[in-house]
């Protein structure tokens, strides 16, 4: 990845973090501390939108720390399109970072992780693949999966 695209990615992540901080501040003190009546309070330092992986090194950087849900998808995949709003909501409302990998654009990553069908979801914990799910997953199942590792 070029230095210019590194800077653009860093700037994008910083903008996402700032928007999330502002949103949390506007929701009141319970939102900032993560306390709420819901079990899935938004995380403080995780982006509230999925991160679109640019290449292998960007992928490694994204999954290196914390709990990261990775959605291997394809634009032409109907089930992937059904899963998209669920993935977006999980990014906005959980303590996990969410990343998306387009298998057509990043065939090497898909091959490296043995992705043979889409959608395939991985849950990474501090850089290690901890869980794998193939096919459309219901939102509750994904939230439970994340909750086991946060």
Catalytic machinery residues? 77, 80
Integer Rg of the chain from CA: 15
- Any idea which residue has 């990014």 for tokens? 91
Q: b/e map of 19-58 (b: 16 or more CB within 10 Å)? A: ebeeebeeeeeebeeeeeeeebbbbeebbbebbebbeeeb
Q: 49: which 2 tokens?
A: 């939108």
Q: 87: which 2 tokens?
A: 């993935």
């Amino acid at each position: 990845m070029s230095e210019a695209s590194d800077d653009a990615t860093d700037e994008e992540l910083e903008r996402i973090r700032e928007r999330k901080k502002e949103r949390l501040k506007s929701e009141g003190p319970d939102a900032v501390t993560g306390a709420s009546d819901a079990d899935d309070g938004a995380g403080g330092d995780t982006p509230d939108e999925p991160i679109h992986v640019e290449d292998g090194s960007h992928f490694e950087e994204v999954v290196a720390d914390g709990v990261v849900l990775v959605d291997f998808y394809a634009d032409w995949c109907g089930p992937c399109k059904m899963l998209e709003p669920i993935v977006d909501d999980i990014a906005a409302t959980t303590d996990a970072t969410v990343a998306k990998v387009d298998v057509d654009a990043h065939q090497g990553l898909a091959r490296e992780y043995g992705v043979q069908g889409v959608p395939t979801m991985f849950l990474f914990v501090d850089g290690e693949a901890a869980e794998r799910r193939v096919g459309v997953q219901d939102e509750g199942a994904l939230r439970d999966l994340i909750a086991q590792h946060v």
